[in-house]
Amino acid sequence: MKTAAAILVVLLSPFLLLSQQIKRTTVDTKMEQVTVFTKGAQVKRTGKQSLVAGKQEIIFTGISTDIEKQSVQVKADGKLIILSVRVQRDYLKEQEVREEIKQLQERVSTLNDKISITAKTLDVFKQEESMLIKNQQIAGSTVTLKPEELRQALDFQRQRLTEVLKQQLALQKEIEELNKERNKLNNQLAEMNRKFDLSTNEIVVLTDVKETATVPFEITYLVQKAGWYPTYNIRVKDVVSNLQLEMNANVYQTSGENWNNIKLVLSTGNPNENNSKPLINPWFISYADAQMSNYMKQWYIGGSDQMLMGRVTDDKGVPLPNASVVVKGTNQAVITDANGFYRVKTNGVGQTLAISSVGYESYEFAAGRSFVNVSLKPAMNNLQEVVVVGYGSTDGYLAGSAPGVQIRGTSSVKKETKSMPLQVITTFQPITAQYEIQEVATVNNDGKINTISINEKSIEAYYEYYTAPKLDEAAYLTAKLINWQELNLIPGETNLFFEGTFLGKSYLDLSTDSDTLSLSLGVDKGITVKRTLLKEFSNKKFLGSNRTDNKQYEIVIRNNKNVPVNMIVEDQFPISTLKEIEVDDLKYDGGKLNDETKIVTWTHRIDAKQLKKMELKYSVKYPKEKKLQLD
């Protein structure tokens, strides 16, 4: 037995010696840049440390608990080799914070006892004050005192009452000071509790340093509880001026760490790129874009600010029907329809929505915008600690499971665009765009929306009015943008302003393959529309077993504005679906008739303060015993 133990010691001694030789060095890092994607963000930290030759573990502390372990990348310049990278809980830091919290809680408890004792002492002096006053009243009414005795009694009461009041004042001041100290400790306790929730991860890098040097480090990692979405302000001064398009980025995060004074980059790309060769999958197509357009038009007209809607798909973009959408903490819950769309009522910013579907990972996000698309990942086993081993160049990235492989890093050509009010550099890639905010930014870990103006453009637009007075006697203004793809837009909610007046909200729908993008700017009260049945030309005639209804309408468009306008007017003739019903005598006064739909279109340019008249006439013949609804 002794021989076996001796052999075991001999075998283990090299490993014990090796473990004793590995030095642990903590490196302070600073958050330099955050690239925020529409879902998720990439954090970049930098640091510098003097290292001696030999194997050692480099510890990067203060890392978010929201980190995706498999996304960690470490880059080091210098003569060293990165042997492994792992992410682990910073238990030592947690223990330190926990001890500080315990000490603060004990101090607060001690102060509470002092405040309670002092308050009770104050009550005693208040009772003595009351007793002195009552004794004076009783003595004065029941006892006859000599002048000298009365003077002595009054002196005693005055002296004692003065002492009692002074003691009360001193005790009140003492309680105030104790309360101030307690409030200060409670604030420190709240801060320590916040620290306990933050920065409880650390990245441990095993390195082999070839020679003593000061080594700069760069680490990047992904977090999921962050994102951004665009909103737009569309302003039109009048129908002869350029359209002003303001693009805003709404950034939010609850990643577990504050982003203080960082360089902020907004990206439309997908951070969940992997290192495996691509596998082409079946390509499913449908009329998703058209459905999206109709869905948005349906709900955005007269929609509520507290109604949240969107679409749930899988990671390939296929709609997920019957997915569960729940507003946490309420009884509000819906399921997606056959096309993956959902619509649920919320109480506004601050509520959390949870989306789940069988076979997919659930996803949660904070309410705060009106439209949210969600892509769910297929469910998989939870990833535990990730250890990356590699033997590559000293300045390469090591991440994933392949040694000596540069994981990420894309090159692109940057094109600077003029922007207001912030200077923004837009980076164009084949499918994505990046907006580099040139001023430092701060985004706190509170889930609140931080709105940043990233672009403002003056765009030449063709303005056109549309009316269908049979349905609505109103003129709707539309702006047509040519070559809109060059504007690098993203679908999003828009605020519409015309002639300095807020018209309401709409949705920027980019589901068109046309070079011209039409934006609806709502109703313009400066254009009046009237459709009138001309009774003197409208009548009913009976002949045999049939009757004939003659209809004639006059449409009057009046331009009350000081500038000419382009107007499209549409009306229609009825279409017979039965042989016994005949529609004849079609007259449409210079319009263009679609023979299939029987829709008549007039295109006019109406000068300022002028009007334009159009007429529509038709007759319908049908059996007189039948009832037919015309208009």
Cα–Cα distance, 37 to 42 (Å, whole number): 8
What pLDDT does residue 131 have?
82
| CATH architecture, domain 93-197 | Orthogonal Bundle (1.10)
pLDDT tens per residue across span 302-338: 344 467 888 898 888 788 888 889 888 777 788 888 7
SS (H, E, C) 550-581: EEEEEEEEEECCCCCEEEEEEEECCCCCCCCC
- Give the residue among 525, 527, 526, 523 at the shortest CA–CA distance from 478: 523
Task: Locate CATH 2.60.40.1120 in the chain.
Answer: 286-376
What 3-state DSSP class applies to 509? coil
Average pLDDT, the chain: 78
What pLDDT does residue 293 have?
46
How does DSSP assign 376-428, residue by residue?
EPBP-PPP----EE----TT----TTSTT--------EEEE---SSS-EEEEE
Q: How confident is the model at residue 296 (pLDDT cuts 50, 70, 90)?
A: very low
Task: Locate CATH 1.10.287 in the chain.
Answer: 93-197
Contact 617, 607 (CB under 8 A): no
pLDDT tens per residue across span 336-360: 887 788 888 877 656 788 899 888 9
pLDDT tens per residue across span 200-220: 788 898 988 888 888 899 999
pLDDT tens per residue across span 360-391: 988 888 776 677 888 898 886 433 333 333 32
Contact 68, 37 (CB under 8 A): no
Neighbours of 566 (CB within 10 A): 15
What pLDDT does residue 283 have?
60
pTM over cut 0.85: no
CATH class in words for 286-376: mainly beta
Peptide linkage before 430 cis (omega within 30 of 0) = no
Average pLDDT rounded to a whole number, residues 47-71: 87
Average pLDDT rounded to a whole number, residues 432-448: 87
What pLDDT does residue 297 have?
44
Which H/E stretch holds residue 189? Answer: helix 147-197
Geometric angle at alpha carbon 532, from 528 and 535, rounded to 5°: 160
How big is the chain, counted in residues?
A: 631
Average pLDDT rounded to a whole number, residues 95-111: 77
What pLDDT does residue 196 have?
56
pLDDT tens per residue across span 29-41: 999 999 999 889 9
Q: How confident is the model at residue 279 (pLDDT cuts 50, 70, 90)?
A: low
Residue 187 burial by Cβ neighbours in a 10 Å radius (0-12, 13-18, 19+): exposed
